Amino acid sequence: MSGMSQPPPHRGPAPVPPARPDASMSLLTHVMDHSLDEGYAEAAARRRADGTAGLPRSVKAKLVLATGIVLTAAVITLGAARTQMSAPVLAKERQELIDRVHRADDRADGLERDIERLRGDVAGRQREALKQHGGDQGQRTALLSGATEVHGPGLKLTVDDAKGSSSAAGGKPRENSGFSDTGRLRDRDMQRIVNGLWQAGAEAVSINGQRLTALSAIRAAGDAILVDNRPLVPPYEVLAVGDKKRLPAAFQDSVDGQYLRVLQESYGIRYTLSPADEVRLPAASSLTVRTATAAEEPKKGAS
C-alpha cells in the first residue's frame, strides 16, 4: 500500500493561538514593559552627557548649593562695590546741599538786617519831618502815635507764667477756655493788662521793648504771644509812662488789675508791679504813614 497517496492537507482557516493568561491586564503589562518614561529617559541622557550621572544625589545637591552661594556672594560683592563707589558722591552732594542752605540762611539774615536798618531810617525821617513841620503839635502827635521814643516816670510790671507751666498747672481750668489750662499767660490776658494800663492813665506802653500804638495787635500763635507779629518770650516786661504815684494804684484798683490778681490766685500766674522814677520806651518800629499833606511854604515878603 506504499503506492497509496497521502490525503491532501487541510486548507481551512489557520488555527488561533491560545490567549495569554494576562490578556485582561494589558495596561499593567504595558507599564511593566515600558517602565522608563520618555521624560525620565531624556533627563538620564542629559546627566550622562554632563558626566554627573554617576554622582550620588547628595553630591549633586551640594554642587547646586555651592553654585548658588557663589552667585549670591558675587551679587552682594558687586552691590557693596557700587555702594562704596557711590558713597563719596552722595556725601559730596549732601554737603553741597547743606552749604546751599547755610548760604540761603545767611542771605535771609542779611536781608532782614537791611530791612530793619531801612525801617529805622524811614522812621527817623518821619520823626524829623514831624518835628520840623508840625512844631509843638507835631511833637505831640509823634508822641501819641508812638513815632518817637519817650522816657519819664511810670511803672514797671513783670508778668510770668506759672511755675511748671510746661505741664498742667495745679490751678483749675479756666471757664470757656476751649483748651486745658497750662498756667501760661494768654494773648487775651495781655490785652486786658494793656487796656487796663491805658485806662489807668498811661501815656505810653511797651512790652519787652515793643512799643504799642493805637494800631498795635496782640495775638497768639500756639502758646506764644505776638505783638505786631513779633513773638515775645516770658517773662513779659511791661513798661508804662505816667504818674508814678497815681498810675500803679489806679491800675490795681481797676477791673483789669483785679483780673490779673485772679490769674495769680487761681492759675499761678506770677507778677510784680512797682513804680519807677524813669522808664524809657523806644519808638514804634511798625508805624506806617497812611496819609500825608504837604506843608505850604510861606510866601516871600509875608510878615
Q: Mind listing the pLDDT tens digit for each residue in 123-160?
A: 777 767 766 665 566 666 666 677 678 889 999 999 99
Counts of helices then strands in the chain (DSSP H, E):
6, 8
Q: What cell numbers appear for 154 in the block?
A: 511810670
Q: What is the mean pLDDT of the chain?
A: 76
Q: What is the arithmetic mean of pLDDT over 215-240?
A: 89
Per the CB < 8 A criterion, the answer to whether 142 and 131 are in contact is: yes
Model pLDDT, residue 176: 42
Torsion of CA 200, 205, 208, 212, to 10 degrees: 130
Residue 88 DSSP SS3: helix
Percent of the chain exceeding pLDDT 90 equals: 28
Q: What is the pLDDT of residues 36-59, one digit of tens each?
A: 556 666 766 776 666 555 555 676
Buried b (16+ CB within 10 A) or exposed e, 107-137: eeeeeeeeeeeeeeeebeebbebbeeeeeee
Against a cut of 0.85, is the pTM above it?
Answer: no
* DSSP, residue by residue, 215-243: T--EEEETTEEEETTEEE-SSEEEEEES-
Model pLDDT, residue 279: 92
Q: How far is Cα 17 from Cα 202, in angstroms, rounded to an integer?
A: 139
CATH topology for 150-281?
Alpha-Beta Plaits (3.30.70)
Q: Is 214 exposed, middle or buried, given 0-12, 13-18 or 19+ CB atoms closer than 10 A?
A: exposed
Q: How far is Cα 244 from Cα 89, in angstroms, rounded to an integer?
A: 68
